[in-house]
Structure 1
Amino acid sequence: MTETYFPEGNETLTLDQFVERLEASGIVPDLRASRYTPEAMSRVAEWMAALARDPDVLRGLLVDGLADFLNYQVDNDFKPSTLMLHKGDGYSLRAVLWMPPSPQHPPEIFSYYETHDHSFDFFTVGAFGPGYRTQLYDYEYENVRGVPGELVPLRFQEETGLPPGKVMYYYGSRDIHTQLPAPSISASINLLLPKTYPAHRRQYEMTLEETPEGVFGKLIAGNVDRQAQERALFETAAAMGDTDLHEALRDIARHHDTPQVRALAWQSLLPNSKHLAEDVGLVRDDGDPHVRAALSQWV
């Protein structure tokens, strides 16, 4: 369940001061490894609120961008509404702009109405404007096979907003949210904490399904760009028929940490396999339910 903080006080931190304080604290490795202590998390929430109180954080980001527009955020691989503030050792800070939907600002740019989780933990704080609203749920990652169309039981938490100064902490592979549009231009600041434990987890996208038995998330093909890239790579390697390529693909199918990637590798290799009976036996040896379900026509 997400954590919510309303830090009091008027302390202001510059970006450099925030980074210095965060890195000196030693808290980042603990959070990345799922070692949670309320005191440490409250401390970071206070620093996030103090960072958001500094108007020069967002102002400086925008001034720099307008002054050198051709080279602005060229290394940023997030969505267009996301701006990189700082990348540290094991964490990153980004600002996210939230625009009311319009023909110039389609909802998908801002992930509005898209129910999803994240594979990383993160803090977020309202920094400008009224902020978006969000519907919050949680679920049990370990019980999900990850097959498109699967119905995942969700537990509703609340619908809430992110006004200036409010801080929230999202747990990776546990919290799910559906973001609703901000009524006017808004911005938030996020501290992203990629997981070292548990690691190599998939993010899920889903549609909400309300039934008499409760609320479910119906899985759709999540992380579409990455998955399409993997599928194209695997299917091309399999189709070329080269022994070395097949062996490399077989190694991914047997040993990759993520079940979805293993399944995708087998789906590409099996129709082209020169050792089909042996490969089908290897699929049967994979005990993960997602792999078995995705390859059910073969096993």
Structure 2
Amino acid sequence: MGFDAGDETSLHNAAEALAGLAANRTFLGDMLIDQLAGAMTGTMSGAATAYGPQALMLAGPRNGYFIRANLWPARGDPAYRASGAASFVYGLPHDHNFDFLTVGYFGPGYVSDYWEYDYVSVRGDVGEPVDLRFVERSALGEGRVLHYRAHRDVHCQHPPQSLSVSLNICAAFPAQGWLDQYRFDTDGKRIAGVLNPSANEVILRAGVALGNENARSLTCDFARHHPSAAMRRVASELSRQIRSG
């Protein structure tokens, strides 16, 4: 089974499958205990792999998707007190550069403020005005399935009342790294930053900073002709810096 968020049938089938997985109240705990036992004996199965400070990869990329579990500590939990809100992306209004489905698996669920915006109408410059439209504030309770739409839905998550877990089916495709993910100033309705600078952007910046002539030439060319809007924007910024000396 693949996952194509642009296909109504595929989206519906994936949502049903995710809800069915969430109805299994023991699988995740069993999987985590198996991982811990394997770590102790040196025989880890690889079924669940750390994906970030709060996430576990349950099924790696295949057929255009992957599956993960996210852990959401409450303010009073030791992980929150030790690492702070930023480690769990709390209080950070942002969009996503991929579609995903999520379901509340355990606990009352994180609380989110939701907005919508029109991605194609913005360049992506920091400080650029954006027509953010507030939708609602709600919690991801157990069994609730939501579709986060790429480049359209913006949310700001807040800690749950108690430890919670969500499950995600996330779209994965090769061009994803070329598409921007933004941080927003929701009070000022502006883009506050780009959250996913690509490796190519870093390489280009390093080449220009090191004074490489080929990098300077590529920068001018990329600013005019690169197919990625994100790279054109970065190259235009670097071109201005080169001209100003």
Q: Report TM bin, short chain.
A: 0.7 to 0.9
Aligned-partner Cα distance in 2 for 1:200–1:77: 24
1:91 correspondence with 2:65: yes
1:213 aligned residue: none
Label 1:55 to 1:91 Cα distance change in 2 as closer, same or farther (>3 A). Answer: same
Size of the alignment, in residue pairs? 236
Aligned-partner Cα distance in 2 for 1:235–1:196: 23
Aligned-partner Cα distance in 2 for 1:188–1:142: 30
Aligned-partner Cα distance in 2 for 1:86–1:167: 19
Aligned-partner Cα distance in 1 for 2:198–2:175: 26
Structure 2 unaligned runs (5+)? none
Q: How does 1:269-284 map to 2 (within 5 A)?
A: 269=239, 271-272=241-242
Label 1:195 to 1:151 Cα distance change in 2 as closer, same or farther (>3 A). Answer: farther
Is the 2:97–2:176 contact (alpha carbons within 8 Å) kept by the matching residues of 1?
A: no
- SS of 1:151's equivalent in the other structure is coil
Label 1:139 to 1:180 Cα distance change in 2 as closer, same or farther (>3 A). Answer: same
Is the 1:119–1:194 contact (alpha carbons within 8 Å) kept by the matching residues of 2?
A: no
1:174 correspondence with 2:152: yes
1:80 correspondence with 2:58: no
Aligned residue identity for 2:229: P
Q: How does 1:182-201 map to 2 (within 5 A)?
A: 182-194=160-172, 200-201=178-179
Deviation at 1:228, TM superposition (A): 8.4
Aligned residue identity for 1:126: G
Aligned pair partner of 1:114 in 76, 89, 92: 92
Label 1:41 to 1:227 Cα distance change in 2 as closer, same or farther (>3 A). Answer: closer
Aligned pair partner of 2:197 in 227, 239, 246: 227
**Larger Cα-atom Rg:** 1
1:132 correspondence with 2:110: yes
1:80-136 Cα shifts (integer Å, max 9, x gaps): 101100022211100000001342241111111111100110000011111111111
Is the 1:200–1:257 contact (alpha carbons within 8 Å) kept by the matching residues of 2?
A: no
Aligned residue identity for 2:12: S
1:46 correspondence with 2:19: no
Aligned-partner Cα distance in 2 for 1:61–1:204: 33
Aligned residue identity for 1:107: A
Aligned residue identity for 1:86: A
Aligned residue identity for 2:67: L
Deviation at 1:167, TM superposition (A): 0.5
Q: How does 1:1-299 map to 2 (within 5 A)?
A: 23=1, 26=2, 28=3, 30-31=4-5, 34-35=6-7, 37=8, 39-69=9-39, 78-87=51-60, 88-101=62-75, 102-194=80-172, 200-209=178-187, 217-223=189-195, 226-227=196-197, 232-269=202-239, 271-272=241-242
Aligned-partner Cα distance in 1 for 2:223–2:50: 27
Aligned residue identity for 2:68: R
Aligned residue identity for 2:74: P
Label 1:244 to 1:134 Cα distance change in 2 as closer, same or farther (>3 A). Answer: same
Is the 2:204–2:215 contact (alpha carbons within 8 Å) kept by the matching residues of 1?
A: no
Aligned-partner Cα distance in 2 for 1:188–1:64: 19
Aligned-partner Cα distance in 1 for 2:138–2:216: 50
Q: What is the TM-score when the length of structure 2 is the normalising length?
A: 0.82
Structure 1 unaligned runs (5+)? 1-22, 210-215, 277-296
- SS of 2:186's equivalent in the other structure is strand
Aligned-partner Cα distance in 1 for 2:230–2:12: 35
Deviation at 1:184, TM superposition (A): 0.6
Label 1:261 to 1:82 Cα distance change in 2 as closer, same or farther (>3 A). Answer: same
